Amino acid sequence: MKTKLLILFGGKSAEHKVSMQTAKAVMNAVDLDLYEVHPVYIDAQGTWNKGKRLEGKVEDIKALEVHHETTSLSPFSLANEEESQVVFPLLHGPNGEDGTVQGLLELLNIPYVGNGVLASAAGMDKLAMKAIFQQAGLQQVKYEGFIRKDWEVEKPEVIDRIERNLGYPCFVKPANLGSSVGINKASDRHALEAAIEEALQFDRKIIVEQGVVAREIEIGVIGNDETSCSVVGEIVPKTEFYDYKSKYEDGDTALIIPAEIDSAIYEQVKEMATTAYKALDCSGLARMDFFLTKNNELIINEVNTMPGFTPVSMFPLLWKHSGVDYPSLINRLVELALERHEEKMKIKYTVE
């Protein structure tokens, strides 16, 4: 019997368009002889819409935007399905990658691809993530965090603290977002204020990180309790940093796979990536991002619990160069989802 694969995409997030690209790529790579694929489009207002069963290739991404009263459904109706099913949440950013949808699927007791509630939430919230990394003893850049209320009440004090502890240049980011949305580099006080104002449009919590001159390298990790690491890749942006436009619009950023690093650095990257993966209690997949300085100092930057997943995205390319092609990677992640769910079913929820 085919496994019923429900692919969630879109979402109420600034990364809605990125999710659409990911969904189209995955749907066109899924083996329809193994899976019965059902698209579930979540529009920008958060309404869930179930599309027709996939019968072939998706040619136009606009065709995935299902808007019709007869297709809308309650997320809780997913639990009424009788067939063997797995949910693949291809959602980036808040309201999807941050543990919210994962919590729903846990309540419904449905197997799903990727990270659980804790890893998803902590991986999305950069301040929580950095606190966990610090506890795990991982080297990081200096940073400061604050909420909108702090900015409104004590703006001069916030700026003074950033200038005193971090200096310039620094990078301002919404704490709960990805794909470089709302991120800006600040080289002076005026630019810092403007960057914070923009970041606050996307989140109530802000993180500011000290600038560092370094190479940007990344590694893919898959697995549950036992993990495997890919080769390491390097990002060489033509702009000052790897922003949203560089990632998804210009297409001129160089991805070097495998990165030109020596074997000792590679082993250190794998060790730190595995430590971070386990510290967050990740499952399924994650992409770990690092800085490598001229002095070969390795600094962990962040984790992506649902990394870009098109065939030309870094995560799938890392695994392609590690001997795992795109369709095989999808199959492996579904297997890991079922494995994780089977383990959860061993837990007792009653006391006799």
Domain 143-210 has CATH 3.10.129.10: no
Task: In whole angstroms, give the CA distance from residue 195 to residue 189.
Answer: 10
**What pairs with residue 143 in β-bridges?**
209
**DSSP states along 164-191:** HHT-SSEEEEETT--TTTT-EEESSHHH
Q: Residue 254 has which token pair?
A: 């160089």
Question: pLDDT tens digits for 1-12?
Answer: 789 999 999 998
CATH of region 3-112: 3.40.50.20
**What pairs with residue 40 in β-bridges?**
8, 50
Residue 37, Cβ neighbours under 10 Å: how many? 21
Topology (CATH) of 124-138+213-343 = D-amino Acid Aminotransferase; Chain A, domain 1 (3.30.470)
Positions in the chain whose pLDDT score sits under 70 = 67-71, 80-83, 178-179, 239-252
Please tell me the pTM assigned to this model.
Answer: 0.90
Shortest CA distance to 198 belongs to which of 213, 167, 177?
Answer: 177
At residue 72, the pLDDT reads 75
Shortest CA distance to 243 belongs to which of 199, 307, 179?
Answer: 179
Contact assessment for residue 2 and residue 35, using Cβ atoms and an 8 Å cutoff: yes
Domain boundaries, the chain: 3-112, 124-138+213-343, 143-210
Q: 39, exposed or middle or buried, with CB in 10 Å at 0-12, 13-18, 19+?
A: buried
Q: Residue 88 has which token pair?
A: 């693949």
At residue 242, the pLDDT reads 47
At residue 71, the pLDDT reads 65
In order of 136, 274, 339, the CA distances from 122 in angstroms are: 14, 16, 22
Question: pLDDT tens digits for 70-128?
Answer: 567 788 888 766 567 999 999 998 889 999 999 999 999 999 999 999 999 999 999 99
